[in-house]
Chains A and B, each alone.
Chain A
């Protein structure tokens, strides 16, 4: 292989690498210009909802937003998640006493 062949081979390899690197080009025309390109879910689902499988089409648009964690139960039976055993009780939620 002469030097010209080597040069052509190197150029071809470089071009292929560049093509791979540019395989997923940034979005140049975002659906919502207000958000710019930003970071978007490629499947159209909401961002930041871990544990939710993105769905496409209408299903994705009707996805129920994540439920807000409700505050601890204020009933008398409310307990933390500490395990209780015997005479060592799970400590109840801290609350104000009657001083």
Chain B
């Protein structure tokens, strides 16, 4: 029954190339009930943006974000236990996939949203403590390439965080989907893989 609903929903979707991939993924997640009937967020690393959706998959807002410096979709094992000074540039990735988020605190008492607690990856208000990193300027610039600066965390403009991220993910468990940048989306999201064969037969190929 669920698969039928999912296929029906996907069949009425335009190809991923023709629409924003984040919105495409959001619709697929809602069709598969993967979001557990709750609001959620999708992070598109290629576009360096976060998209916040309501429980029905309707886009509420989006914003540029800062992401991990390194290109890659996995966290180095054990990186969450290492000091920042021990993390090499090529290890500063923002992992991709489906993450069950939870509100939390960092050691400075700042309220954040844990994306991957074990890997110490969170979503938080942008931090401009290191002037040389020019994080605020990077967020404000129209280019995407310079949004790669963090050690893996997702930096969100403070106003956007307070207006959209905190209400949706800051007080309860939630779901964040981080689109991969080195592989096709269906390789990271189980609910897409379930219908992969049928989708391929229909000539539908999730963006990769």
Contacts and interface: CB of A to CB of B under 8 A. Distances in A.
Nearest to A94: B105
Contact of A97 (B102, B103, B109, B120): B120
A75 to B, nearest CB: 9
A89 B84 contact: no
B151 interface: yes
Given A89-B102, A89-B173, A98 B84 contact: yes
A91 B103 CA distance: 7
B117 A92 contact: yes
Given A76-B117, A96-B120, A89 B107 contact: no
B112 interface: yes
Contacts, number: 62
Interface residues of A, number: 13
Contact of B120 (A87, A89, A91, A98): A98
Interface in A56-89: 74, 76, 87-89
Interface string B125-157: 001000000000000000000000011110000
A81 to B, nearest CB: 16
Contacts of A95: 106-107, 117, 120
Closest 8 CB pairs of A and B: A98-B151, A98-B152, A94-B105, A87-B172, A97-B122, A76-B118, A87-B173, A98-B153
Interface of B: 38, 68, 79-81, 84, 87, 92, 102-107, 109, 112, 114, 117-122, 124, 127, 150-153, 171-174
